[in-house]
């Protein structure tokens, strides 16, 4: 039954991959949008930490973790996001709900593999700029998704290596409507990019017992430089805009624009942590992505610089008594964490940075180590300096981690 449900969900998610708008951030105007968090609800509740891997949960951030799976694992996650966008003079609020991942992991001894669908970046904004005699409305939608296949193998006891292959795909649309006083028609420009391309990731995880209680975990990943292909198009139109903002085309013209390419720069992460198995864990992680030039879209901006992006995470979990027979809440996993990111985006000399604090719980369900994970995160992005905006956001994440036993040996009496 679980297998049938997950197959149906995979079809539904894949068919609606383009329709998701996982952000309302004006900063998604730049590049190919805001990069989505690639991890489960469990990881997000620990500040995005990916150092820890076990035998019953998927770790979407490090493919080496698949080498430690002992049960077939299905993972599904979604997030409800509210954001308040503030400038020096105005404040607006909005919300979004998105599916974050749909994944399956399958163990085969020391080898494990998995596949699934996750969003890579998202675009979603609406901005209005008004002057004395004209007004401009900027809107954007779409994003990039990825279908991935991951595999991990335990080379020697405690050391696992992994590889992930991704196919990235999606559509991004940016639209500008310019209205002028005493002019009957407005002018509209629509730029579209169809995105496709492959990318890869390599990972390693090492676990070593320090004594009878303490265990050391070390994790590392590297994402080599990859390239996305852009099939671009542009349309110029004269339109009539009614009082509800709806646009009726009077005349339009398709402009031929060259195909483009976007290079995703090399990135890496390294983290370590210490803990007592099935009891507690605390770790830290550092990640960096080299500067990427996203200017090769159908349009360019001259006030933007892309620098190296960095992320620092700190988090962990605590389980009062994982095998308690008398108290359900003693078997609950309690998680918390914090993160700080320099996104690499600099606008008018101001770095767009982000931080978040998070906590969550893992609630046991069923009889085979399955669990439901709920996480909460509060954070901020951006600044009001230089006429920019600051975002206060709150995320509620829900994830299901369902376990099953495949490839049972048949026994006959």
DSSP string, 155-196: EETTEEEEEEEEEEEEEEEEEEEEEETT-SSEEEEEEEEEEE
Please report the pLDDT score of residue 15 as a whole number: 44
Query: Which residue, among 147, 164, 48, has the nearest Cα to 103 in the 3D structure?
Result: 147
Average pLDDT over residues 14-37: 73
Cα(413)–Cα(407) distance, integer angstroms:
19
Confirm if 315 and 288 have CB atoms less than 8 A apart.
no
Confirm if 311 and 352 have CB atoms less than 8 A apart.
no
Q: How confident is the model at residue 17 (pLDDT cuts 50, 70, 90)?
A: very low
Please report the pLDDT score of residue 151 as a whole number: 97
Higher pLDDT: 306 or 220? It is 220
Please report the pLDDT score of residue 153 as a whole number: 97
CATH number of 2-404: 2.40.160.60
Q: To which H or E segment does residue 13 belong? A: helix 2-15
- Give the domain ranges of the chain: 2-404
pLDDT in tens, 364-405: 997 778 999 999 999 999 999 988 999 999 999 999 999 987
pLDDT in tens, 154-198: 999 999 999 999 999 999 999 999 988 888 899 999 999 999 999
Query: Which residue, among 259, 260, 241, has the nearest Cα to 250 in the 3D structure?
Result: 241
Query: Which residue, among 15, 60, 22, has the nearest Cα to 41 in the 3D structure?
Result: 60
Cα distances from 403 to residues 202, 306, 335, in angstroms, run: 25, 42, 20
Q: How confident is the model at residue 407 (pLDDT cuts 50, 70, 90)?
A: low
Interior/surface letters 223-247, b for 16+ CB within 10 angstroms, e for the rest: beebebebebbbeebebebeeeeee
Of the listed ranges 30-34, 246-250, 292-296, 383-387, the least confidently predicted one is 292-296
Please report the pLDDT score of residue 297 as a whole number: 56
Cα(61)–Cα(10) distance, integer angstroms:
20
pLDDT in tens, 62-119: 999 999 999 999 999 999 999 999 988 888 888 989 999 999 999 998 999 999 999 9
Average pLDDT over residues 299-313: 84
Q: Measured in whole angstroms, how far is the alpha carbon of residue 346 from the centre of its chain?
A: 21
pLDDT in tens, 120-161: 999 988 888 787 788 888 899 999 999 999 999 999 999 999
* Torsional class of 265: left (φ above 0), alpha (ψ -120 to 50), beta (otherwise): beta
Confirm if 172 and 140 have CB atoms less than 8 A apart.
yes
Greatest mean pLDDT range, 27-41, 49-63, 118-132: 49-63
DSSP state of 219: E
Please report the pLDDT score of residue 295 as a whole number: 58
pLDDT in tens, 277-286: 999 999 999 9
pTM: 0.87
Please report the pLDDT score of residue 134 as a whole number: 86
Q: Residues 145, 150, 154, CA angle at the centre, nearest 5°?
A: 155
């Amino acid at each position: 039954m679980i297998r049938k449900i997950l197959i149906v969900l995979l079809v539904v998610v894949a068919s609606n991959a383009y329709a998701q708008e996982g952000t309302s951030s004006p900063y998604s105007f730049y590049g190919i949008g805001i990069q989505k968090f690639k991890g489960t609800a469990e990881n997000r509740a620990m500040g995005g930490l990916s150092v820890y891997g076990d035998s019953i949960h998927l770790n979407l951030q490090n493919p080496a973790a698949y080498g430690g799976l002992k049960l077939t694992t299905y993972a599904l996650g979604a997030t409800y996001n509210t954001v308040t966008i503030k400038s020096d003079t105005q404040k607006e609020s909005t919300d979004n709900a998105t599916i974050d991942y749909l994944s399956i992991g399958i163990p085969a001894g020391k080898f494990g593999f998995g596949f699934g669908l996750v969003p890579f970046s998202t675009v979603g904004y609406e901005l209005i700029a008004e002057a004395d005699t004209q007004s401009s409305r900027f809107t954007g939608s779409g994003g990039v998704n990825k279908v991935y296949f991951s595999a991990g193998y335990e080379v020697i006891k405690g050391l696992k290596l992994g590889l992930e292959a991704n196919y990235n795909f999606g559509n991004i649309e940016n639209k500008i409507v310019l209205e002028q006083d005493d002019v009957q028609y407005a002018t509209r420009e629509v730029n579209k990019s169809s995105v496709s391309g492959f990318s890869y990731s390599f990972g390693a995880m090492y676990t070593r017992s320090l004594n009878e209680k303490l265990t050391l975990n070390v994790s590392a990943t590297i994402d080599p430089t990859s390239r996305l292909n852009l099939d671009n198009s542009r349309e110029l139109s004269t339109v009539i805009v009614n009082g509800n903002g709806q646009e009726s085309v009077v005349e339009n013209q398709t402009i031929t624009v060259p195909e483009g390419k976007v290079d995703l720069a090399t990135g890496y992460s390294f983290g370590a942590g210490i803990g007592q198995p099935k009891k507690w864990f605390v770790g830290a992680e550092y990640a960096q992505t080299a500067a990427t030039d996203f200017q090769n879209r159908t349009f360019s901006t001259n006030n933007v610089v892309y620098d190296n992006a960095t992320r620092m995470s700190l988090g962990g979990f605590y389980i009062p008594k994982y095998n308690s027979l008398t108290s359900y809440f003693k078997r609950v996993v309690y998680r918390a964490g914090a993160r700080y990111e320099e996104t690499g985006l600099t606008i008018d000399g101001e770095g767009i940075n982000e931080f978040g604090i998070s906590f969550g719980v893992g609630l046991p369900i069923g009889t085979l180590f399955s669990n439901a994970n709920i996480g909460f995160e509060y954070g901020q992005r951006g600044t009001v300096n230089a006429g920019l905006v600051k975002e206060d956001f709150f995320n509620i994440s829900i994830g299901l981690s369902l376990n099953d036993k495949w490839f049972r040996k048949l026994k006959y009496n």
